[in-house]
Amino acid sequence: MCICLPNSQKFIYLIIKIIVNPTINKKLKFHNFKFNIMNRACFTQNTSLYRVLGASCIRPIKNNFVRMNIKISALLLLALVLCSCQPRHKLSISKQSWGQADGKEVSLYTLTNANGMVVKISNFGGTITTIMAPDRNGKFEDIVLGFDSLKQYQKGVPYFGALIGRYGNRIAKGKFTLDNVEYTLATNNAPNHLHGGIKGFDKVVWDATELSGTDSVGLVLTYLSKDMEEGYPGNLTSKVTYVLTNNNEIKIYYEAETDKPTIVNLTHHSYFNLTGCKESILDHELTLYADSITQVDSTLIPTGVIATIAGTDFDFTTPHKIGERIANVRRGYDHNFKLRRQGNGLMLASDLYDATSGRLMQTYTTEPGIQLYSGNFLDGSLTGIGGIAYQKHYGVCLETQNYPDSPNKPNFPSVVLRPGEKYTQLTIYKFSVK
């Protein structure tokens, strides 16, 4: 039974209470009372049943009032309650066993906020498997691509919902030089290095600790990437904290420290689909608060040129459907946008809107760039939660990050982390409707 009722349902709740309370019921029968069901004011007082009864709501009525049999009314209204009642949700986090990887236990955590929004996160890859978000009618649907079982992620999927590290995006030819030492990384996206290598942070088991606050719940994930793991120097301790707030925000705090100079560029790789994964993302309207992109070559490595995009197919400074000009972009969008920022603070980076459902997702970040990836390499061969085949452009990634190939581009913001320094970044995905 609902405990917290919207004002419009207080009347229904009152009647149900009367029916199940023999004393009141008897008293009402005895006095042959009738209800003034039109007198809504009584029920917007948010008072207890007895205070309502003690007030003017139940009283002998005059001819212009509707006469009703209380029990029959209650049965009809019970049906209405069952259809329309919106239960209050408890802010919570729970954990279930989800298998094993690398000889370690893997869990799936379910975070629920007071509005009923649900986010499921595994400590395998720090992967978000599910985000249940409401549409403008309050209907909750999963708005990210994902899978039910750990096995599917272990088989290898293109970074669905995962944490990406040590270096998100590409490094040309898998090589970079730091303090006059050249390092060689896997060229797992030939001819380049992509998303941390063969076994990046998306495929490792993170240590997890649950967090509970008064208006949020969270999961703290930590991972020690050993010196020279995937070819990167330094023991790097990364800590990523996911927080689900009662404001329908998913906050992702990134922190890292090293014992030798290294490079770091962490990001998150959810494929969003605000239709509830019912249609492609081509009709999603996107605004990016960016005036230029890092121009890329045919292997998606930046040329070093920061190109202004005003009036081009990349200009999302005003809302455009992702599909509107995508045919003009070779393979689709897979580009880093240089955010229009002043200082290093948190800024609004993008608005993503689905007019059919009314869902709006806003991305805030402290990062200098955002990679817009329109799911170009999805081809229907992966079937996710709910048996949905993920076709081309079925998800859109908005990966907040430093620029691709920064270690080889002196004119890009530095990604070097030295001992004694702390890497900190914050990204927020905020969900609402309009």
Looking at the annotation, which residues are catalytic? 269, 399
When asked if residue 123 is in the footprint of ligand GLA (CB under 6 A), the reply is: no
Q: The tokens of 109 are what?
A: 């955590």
- The radius of gyration computed from the CA coordinates of the chain, to the nearest angstrom, equals 27
Interface region with ligand GLA, contact rule CB under 6 A, candidates 18-26, 78-86, 282-290, 370-378: 370-378
Binding string, residues 291-330; x marks residues near ligand GLA by CB under 6 A:
---------x------------------------------
Q: What are phi and psi of 84, to 5 degrees?
A: -110, -10
When asked if residue 377 is in the footprint of ligand GLA (CB under 6 A), the reply is: yes
Q: Among candidates 378, 342, 6, 343, which has minimal Cα distance to 160?
A: 378
Instruction: Please enumerate in sequence order all residues whose Cβ is within 8 A of that of 283, keeping only pairs 6 or more positions apart, or say none.
Output: 275, 321, 322, 323, 354, 355, 356
Q: The tokens of 386 are what?
A: 């709910």
> Which of residues 193 and 359 has its CB atom nearest to ligand GLA in the complex?
193
Helix, strand, coil in percent for the chain, rounding step 5: 15, 40, 45
When asked if residue 157 is in the footprint of ligand GLA (CB under 6 A), the reply is: no
Distance CA 20, CA 16 (A): 6
> Which of residues 5 and 300 has its CB atom nearest to ligand GLA in the complex?
300
CB of 406 to ligand GLA, least distance (A): 14
Among 397, 398, 415, 417, binds ligand GLA (CB under 6 A): 397
When asked if residue 334 is in the footprint of ligand GLA (CB under 6 A), the reply is: yes
> Which of residues 142 and 334 has its CB atom nearest to ligand GLA in the complex?
334
Binding string, residues 402-431; x marks residues near ligand GLA by CB under 6 A:
------------------------------
Interface region with ligand GLA, contact rule CB under 6 A, candidates 58-66, 117-125, 174-182, 369-377: 369-377
User: How long is the chain?
Assistant: 434
Rounded to a whole number of angstroms, the distance between the first and last alpha carbons of the chain is 30
Binding string, residues 96-115; x marks residues near ligand GLA by CB under 6 A:
--------------------
> Which of residues 74 and 164 has its CB atom nearest to ligand GLA in the complex?
164
CB of 356 to ligand GLA, least distance (A): 25
User: Rule CB under 6 A: which of 68-97 touch ligand GLA?
Assistant: none
> Which of residues 126 and 158 has its CB atom nearest to ligand GLA in the complex?
158
> Which of residues 48 and 299 has its CB atom nearest to ligand GLA in the complex?
299
CB of 364 to ligand GLA, least distance (A): 20
Distance CA 321, CA 318 (A): 10
CB 317 within 8 A of CB 291: yes
When asked if residue 367 is in the footprint of ligand GLA (CB under 6 A), the reply is: no
When asked if residue 271 is in the footprint of ligand GLA (CB under 6 A), the reply is: no
CB of 301 to ligand GLA, least distance (A): 11
When asked if residue 373 is in the footprint of ligand GLA (CB under 6 A), the reply is: yes
> Which of residues 373 and 423 has its CB atom nearest to ligand GLA in the complex?
373
When asked if residue 159 is in the footprint of ligand GLA (CB under 6 A), the reply is: yes
Distance CA 194, CA 159 (A): 11
CB 133 within 8 A of CB 141: yes
> Which of residues 167 and 373 has its CB atom nearest to ligand GLA in the complex?
373
Among 158, 161, 234, 369, binds ligand GLA (CB under 6 A): 158
Which residues, listed in sequence order, are joined to residue 192 by a DSSP beta bridge? 189
Site size for ligand GLA, by CB under 6 A?
A: 11
The torsion region of residue 19 among left (phi > 0), alpha (psi -120 to 50) and beta comes to: alpha
Residue 13 Cα distances to 16, 65, 79, 364, angstroms: 5, 20, 12, 41
CB 293 within 8 A of CB 309: yes
Counting DSSP H helices and E strands in the chain, the numbers are 5, 29
How many other C-beta atoms are found inside a 10 Å radius of the C-beta of residue 190? 11
Distance CA 211, CA 253 (A): 13
CB 148 within 8 A of CB 160: no
> Which of residues 157 and 277 has its CB atom nearest to ligand GLA in the complex?
157
Interface region with ligand GLA, contact rule CB under 6 A, candidates 52-60, 132-140, 318-326, 371-379: 371-379
Torsion of CA 28, 31, 37, 43, to 10 degrees: -60
- Containing H/E element for 290? strand 290-296
CB 116 within 8 A of CB 140: yes
When asked if residue 371 is in the footprint of ligand GLA (CB under 6 A), the reply is: yes
User: Rule CB under 6 A: which of 181-210 touch ligand GLA?
Assistant: 194
When asked if residue 165 is in the footprint of ligand GLA (CB under 6 A), the reply is: no
Residues that bind ligand GLA (CB under 6 A): 158-159, 169, 194, 300, 334, 371, 373, 377, 397, 399
